[in-house]
């Protein structure tokens, strides 16, 4: 299982092959350079959402395991902090190479655990190793400043690590987040405890094993757990001073409150979105329609993506041209199991997620929204009995007060609104508490910049959607979060500035 290309997917990679491989392994926590069971001995089951079948039992870590991980991480971090940043970068590149060697295996783990197509999960592995290399390239950016604050003394700053960092992850890009988001805290000189989402622990646990082969023992620890207690133990640990949380707004707020109650901590929050795409009559309408589809990230994660442009705002004069093209494209997508090469859209991650999406759509239809395609009654090709499938769905005539217009569905559901004026469109887009991404389709350069400024979002595309660009800050405003990632700011956010004043160093004798 070491090929890095998708082309070799054959008999060994059919559903039985992967399931057999997963079931045949022993899944352990990675703590202190060793693979260990949870201290309690407890495990919990993880399922394949494409088939609803049991994949494996994984350790159900709790506060005792977080404490073990903390001690191992704190011990490893002392020496790591003394290691020159370029040497840290070398090891991150070695880690990237090892992850690349195991790309197919890691992608297959994500495909069966999350349910997204193998091809998309291979791209996630690429993004993870790209992130490790991007941050490795920035090792000499961990600079300080000389401040000319006086004539006789030398004043300089240095960037120091926090110590042990806790990273709590969501389910929707398991390996991409476990490996890719390890880069910045590690390069900055911290040790790390990763808590994967309970639904998708496999690739993070495997990544923990791989990291132990390249990095000093205890530098990267992975603790899986079934309930909120595992993450909460990281959040409330009195000596973990830096927490990076990616997940829902609701949990993010709990995390911030619990962290504040436990100790003084720096907490970054990458939270949800209910993002707007605005299409004006002067846009390339065919391209806008295509972008409305790719903007939903259906193929990458069945729309379970924070950045999805799930609110499509069409100028009333062009709605009749854009909407049918979007609906056609949604209906053409092939829904199926993650390991079927023909699959374009997989299932949702869990029954709970499926029920949430179904409930939001059913409520909207009952309240008068029009089901253009998909929904529970659609004749989509989805084998709805087998797994947690939900067909790609478009709802029009959506009232901005409806739940589907305000709550993050985190699924394959696009809601369509119409507007008459630019001001009306901006007001509709900014009406929600979320503010992660936004997209504007227009050929008017002035309007493009005006709206980029007026839209309350942390990441804006003009005539585009969905794509991230490593190096360009990603993160939200308002309820979508605090902090920026995928950029130099992310690296620096894992450091704290110390000022040094060397008294008399510049005094003339
Ligand atoms: P979630 O909030 O349910 O869980 C996220 C993580 O928090 C999981 O590991 C979970 O086990 C843990 N957790 C749960 N309760 C906890 C507690 N009390 N204390 C500490 N940790 C706790 O989110 P999810 O359903 O896994 O992920 C989906 C959400 O993540 C969506 O809202 C999505 O928009 C968001 N997300 C945001 C970004 C971003 O970059 N802004 C990226 C991906 C996902």
Return the best residue to mutate from 248, 250, 260 for the ligand 1 pocket (most ligand atoms within 8 A of CB): 248
Question: Which residue's alpha carbon is nearest to atom 8 within ligand 1?
Answer: 197
Question: Which residue's alpha carbon is nearest to atom 35 within ligand 1?
Answer: 247
Phi, psi of 400, deg, nearest 5? -60, -15
Residue 16, pLDDT score: 73
Using the atom order of ligand 1, give the atom closest to the CA of residue 252: 2
What residues pair up with 191 in beta bridges, in sequence order?
A: 164
Residue 240 CA to residue 343 CA, distance in Å, equals: 42
Question: Which residue's alpha carbon is nearest to atom 11 within ligand 1?
Answer: 197
For residue 423, give the H/E element and its range.
helix 422-430
Residue 385, pLDDT score: 60
Using the atom order of ligand 1, give the atom closest to the CA of residue 234: 20
Residues contacting 92, CB < 8 A, separation 6+: 132, 133, 135, 136, 183, 186, 187
Residue 180 CA to residue 486 CA, distance in Å, equals: 9
pLDDT mean values, one per 10 residues, the chain (509 residues) = 40 73 95 98 97 96 98 98 98 98 96 97 98 98 98 98 98 98 99 98 98 98 98 98 98 98 98 98 98 97 98 98 98 95 96 96 97 72 72 97 97 98 98 98 98 98 98 98 98 98 95
Q: Please, what sign has the CA dihedral across residues 293, 295, 301, 306?
A: negative
Using the atom order of ligand 1, give the atom closest to the CA of residue 436: 41
What residues pair up with 157 in beta bridges, in sequence order?
A: 499
Residue 384, pLDDT score: 52
In terms of phi and psi (left: phi > 0; alpha: psi -120 to 50; beta: otherwise), the region of 297 is left
Q: Are 346 and 334 in contact (CB under 8 A)?
A: no
Residue 312 CA to residue 308 CA, distance in Å, equals: 10
Show the ligand 1 pocket: residues with CB < 6 angstroms: 168-172, 195, 197-198, 228, 231-232, 235, 246-248, 251, 254-255, 270-273, 306, 408, 410, 436, 476, 481
Residue 139 CA to residue 130 CA, distance in Å, equals: 15
Q: Where are the beta strands (DSSP E) in 60-174?
A: 154-161, 164-168
Burial of 90 (0-12, 13-18, 19+ CB in 10 A): middle
Residue 437 CA to residue 329 CA, distance in Å, equals: 22
Phi, psi of 456, deg, nearest 5? -85, 85
Positions marked catalytic: 270
Ligand 1 centroid to 349 CA: how many Å?
13
* Among candidate residues 50, 67, 59, 60, the one with its CA nearest the CA of residue 16: 50
Q: Are 300 and 336 in contact (CB under 8 A)?
A: no
Three-state secondary structure call for residue 285: helix
* Among candidate residues 282, 277, 276, 275, the one with its CA nearest the CA of residue 446: 282
Name the one residue in this structure whose structure tokens are 């005792």.
64
Q: Are 143 and 481 in contact (CB under 8 A)?
A: no
Six-digit token string for 271: 């939270």
Using the atom order of ligand 1, give the atom closest to the CA of residue 198: 11
Residue 337 CA to residue 116 CA, distance in Å, equals: 8
Return the best residue to mutate from 115, 170, 303, 486 for the ligand 1 pocket (most ligand atoms within 8 A of CB): 170
Ligand 1 centroid to 295 CA: how many Å?
21
Return the best residue to mutate from 44, 195, 251 for the ligand 1 pocket (most ligand atoms within 8 A of CB): 251
Q: What is the DSSP secondary structure assignment for residue 474, as one 8-state letter?
A: B
Q: Where are the beta strands (DSSP E) in 12-163?
A: 29-31, 34-36, 43-48, 53-59, 154-161
Q: Are 121 and 107 in contact (CB under 8 A)?
A: yes
Give helix 118-137 / helix 85-101 axis angle, nearest 10°: 160
Three-state secondary structure call for residue 399: coil
Ligand 1 centroid to 149 CA: how many Å?
44
What residues pair up with 442 in beta bridges, in sequence order?
A: none
Q: How many angstroms separate the Cα of 227 from the Cα of each of 43, 196, 309, 399? A: 11, 11, 30, 36
Ligand 1 centroid to 169 CA: how many Å?
6
Q: Are 300 and 120 in contact (CB under 8 A)?
A: yes
Map out the domains of the chain with their CATH numbers. 29-271+484-496 (3.40.605.10), 276-470 (3.40.309.10)
Using the atom order of ligand 1, give the atom closest to the CA of residue 476: 41
Ligand 1 centroid to 320 CA: how many Å?
37
Residue 376, pLDDT score: 73
């Amino acid at each position: 299982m070491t090929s890095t290309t998708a082309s070799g997917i054959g008999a060994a990679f059919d559903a039985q092959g992967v399931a057999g491989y997963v079931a045949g392994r022993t899944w352990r926590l990675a703590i202190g350079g060793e693979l260990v069971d949870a201290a309690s001995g407890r495990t919990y089951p993880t399922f394949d959402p494409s088939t609803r079948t049991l994949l494996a039992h994984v350790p159900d870590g709790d506060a005792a395991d977080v404490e073990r991980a903390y001690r191992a991480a704190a011990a490893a971090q002392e020496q790591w902090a003394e290691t020159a940043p370029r040497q840290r970068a070398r090891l991150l590149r070695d880690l990237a190479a090892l992850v690349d060697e195991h790309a197919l295996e890691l992608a297959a783990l994500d495909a069966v655990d999350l349910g997204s197509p193998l091809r998309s999960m291979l791209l996630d592995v690429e993004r993870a190793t790209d992130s490790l290399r991007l941050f490795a390239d920035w090792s000499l950016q961990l600079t300080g400043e000389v401040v000319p604050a006086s004539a006789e003394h030398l004043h300089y700053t240095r960037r120091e690590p926090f110590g042990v960092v806790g990273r709590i992850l969501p389910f929707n890009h398991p390996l991409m987040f476990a490996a890719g988001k390890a880069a910045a805290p590690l390069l900055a000189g911290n040790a790390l405890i990763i808590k994967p989402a309970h639904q998708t622990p496999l690739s993070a646990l495997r990544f923990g094993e791989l990291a132990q082969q390249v990095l000093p023992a205890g530098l990267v620890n992975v603790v899986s757990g079934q309930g909120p207690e595992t993450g909460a133990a990281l959040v409330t640990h009195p000596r973990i001073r830096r927490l990076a949380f990616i997940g829902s707004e609701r949990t993010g707020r709990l995390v911030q409150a619990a962290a504040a109650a436990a100790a003084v901590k720096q907490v970054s929050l990458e939270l949800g979105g209910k993002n707007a795409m605005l299409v004006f009559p002067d846009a390339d309408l065919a391209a806008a329609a295509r972008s409305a589809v790719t903007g939903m990230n259906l193929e990458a994660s069945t729309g379970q993506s924070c950045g999805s442009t799930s609110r499509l705002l069409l100028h009333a004069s062009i709605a009749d041209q854009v909407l049918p093209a979007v609906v056609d494209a949604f209906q053409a997508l092939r829904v199926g199991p993650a390991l079927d090469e023909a699959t374009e859209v997989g299932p949702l991650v869990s029954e709970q997620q499926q029920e949430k999406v179904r409930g939001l759509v059913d409520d909207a239809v009952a309240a008068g929204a029009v089901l253009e395609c998909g929904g529970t009654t659609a004749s989509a090709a989805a084998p709805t009995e087998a797994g947690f499938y939900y067909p790609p769905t478009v709802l029009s005539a959506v009232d901005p007060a409806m739940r589907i217009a305000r709550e993050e569905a985190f699924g394959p559901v696009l809601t369509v609104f119409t507007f008459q004026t630019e001001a009306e469109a901006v007001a509709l887009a900014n009406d929600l508490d979320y503010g992660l991404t936004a997209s504007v389709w227009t050929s008017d350069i002035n309007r493009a910049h005006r709206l980029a400024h007026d839209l309350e979002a942390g990441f804006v595309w003009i005539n585009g959607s969905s794509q991230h660009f490593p190096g360009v800050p990603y993160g939200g405003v308002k309820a979508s979060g605090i902090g920026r990632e995928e950029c130099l700011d992310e690296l620096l956010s894992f450091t704290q500035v110390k000022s040094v004043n060397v008294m008399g160093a510049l005094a003339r004798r």
